[in-house]
Amino acid sequence: MFEFLSNYARDANGRLSNTKSLLCGLGAGATEAIVIVCPLETIKVKFIHNQTSGNARYQGFIHGIREIVREQGLQGIYQGLTATIVKQGSNQAIRFFTMTSLRNWYQGDNSQKKISPFITATFGMAAGAASVFGNNPVDVVKTRMQSLEAYKYKNTIDCIAQIYKNEGLIAFYKGTIPRLSRVCLDVAIVFVLYEEIIKFLNLIW
């Protein structure tokens, strides 16, 4: 989706500006949230809470999904959609903006300057770290909205208000360090694979 959007945003020389990269990342993240992330994340969070509740109700993956849909309808697997769109949109916007900014800085006036996989991985780690610090609060809200205790919150705004009122500002940064170590490595690998696949496809077409 990012590549699709960026093809319309590049200038005559094929260069993508930092600002347009941010917007393309935002669009890619929002699409990702609606089509893939929200339903899968909702199911994952509900299954984790089910297993740790001490009173497991789901007897397996298929049974669990069937029970969620039977009790709550399709809304049951799309809880926290707003928070997920904000989270994934900001996540990918930050990552692609950081990555494009670093790439443009590294290449300078020579957009044909090659970037090694090692440099790409380094830039990817920086992009991953930026996204963690930039949107961890949204991730916390999204997870709360998708849990089995989501009924406590009227909506996303109410969830934010309750977390702040009951647990303070620090609660929005719970899990930052564990997430940082995972995401930096994850994003570095993804961007290296992404760049190498694009290079390969450009050779074919």
Report domain extents, the chain. Answer: 2-204
CA distance 184 to 181: 6
- Which of the listed CATH numbers 1.50.40.10, 3.40.1390.10, 2.60.40.2470, 3.40.50.10490 matches domain 2-204? 1.50.40.10
The phi-psi region of residue 108 (left if phi > 0; otherwise alpha if psi is between -120 and 50; otherwise beta) is: left
Nearby residues of 98 by Cβ (< 8 Å), 6 or more positions away = 123, 126, 127, 130, 131
pLDDT digit string, tens, across residues 88-135:
899 999 999 999 999 999 988 887 888 899 999 999 999 999 999 888
pTM for this one? 0.76
On the 0-12 / 13-18 / 19+ scale of CB atoms within 10 A, 195 is buried
pLDDT of residue 11: 86
